[in-house]
Chains A and B, each alone.
Chain A
Amino acid sequence: QSVLTQPPSVSAAPGQKVTISCSGTSSNIGNNYVSWYQQLPGTAPKLLIYDNNKRPSGTPDRFSGSKSGTSATLGITGLQTGDEADYYCGTWDSTLSVFGGGTRVTVL
């Protein structure tokens, strides 16, 4: 049972938009910043978004993040086949790093 709640899967056709929600509580998302990680099949997670909405160099601007209250959202526009992956949200609860259970994005 993960601390943060994400939908197990989302899907859309190429070129479309998907959003992934991440729900937490006041002790984690509500009082900390959120990061997002992309895990392509058979690879390690990679930092995609940090500080709720900042993109590291290398993250396309098709990826965006937002946070409101105790929830966060990752958006992917112009969906590509290469975006098929598992996506995890992460934040902190006191001194513990916590993650969501992951959302699989499927490009139809």
Chain B
Amino acid sequence: QLQLQESGPGLVKASESLSLTCAVSGGSMSSNNYFWGWIRQPPGKGLECIGYIYYSGSTYYNPSLKSRVNISVDTSKNQFSLKLSSVTTADTALYYCARGGGYYDSNGYSRYHFDYWGQGTLVPVSS
């Protein structure tokens, strides 16, 4: 059974960088059939996709966060990481890592979805 586990500092100060790592166990990341994403949830609010990365290193970022986000993969450790720079209190959220899978059908419609999620880690940003 695939498992994902987030880790990182419990508290970040405004203007600094937030760094999280997601360790993947129970399966290998080494397949371009899947991608590995970061999704966040501010307290009491909905889900927001930050971005995702393929094993090959190709990345896709939410345009609203693109200037501050970097996602990388460490294939030797079977883990991937998130760095979000210049954080503000608005970045306070539960951060989840997740595996994405699926494909584009013959019409070009996306059949991708997130099928495995980590338990999430709360990152408060202090002012």
The residues of A with any CB-CB pair to B shorter than 8 Å are 2, 31-33, 35, 37, 43-47, 50-51, 56, 88, 90-92, 95-102
Contact = CB atoms under 8 A, between A and B. Distances in A.
Contacts of B60: 95-96
B46 A102 contact: yes
A2 B46 contact: yes
Chain A's interface: helix, strand, loop or mixed, by majority? strand
B102 interface: yes
B63 A96 contact: yes
Given A44-B120, A88-B46, A88-B47, A96 B113 contact: no
Q: What class of interface size applies to chain B in its complex with A?
A: 20 to 34
B119 interface: yes
B46 A56 contact: no
Interface string B84-127: 00000000000010001010010111111111011110000000
B115 A56 contact: yes
A43 B117 CA distance: 10
Contact of B102 (A2, A50, A100): A50
Interface of B: 37, 39, 45-49, 52, 60, 62-63, 96, 100, 102, 105, 107-115, 117-120
B117 A92 contact: no
Contact of A32 (B48, B62, B110): B110
A43 B96 CA distance: 11
A13 to B, nearest CB: 26
B23 to A, nearest CB: 15
Q: Considering residues B48, B114, B118, which has the most beta carbons from chain A within 10 angstroms of its beta carbon? A: B114
A47 B120 contact: no
Contacts of B120: 44
Contacts of A102: 46-47
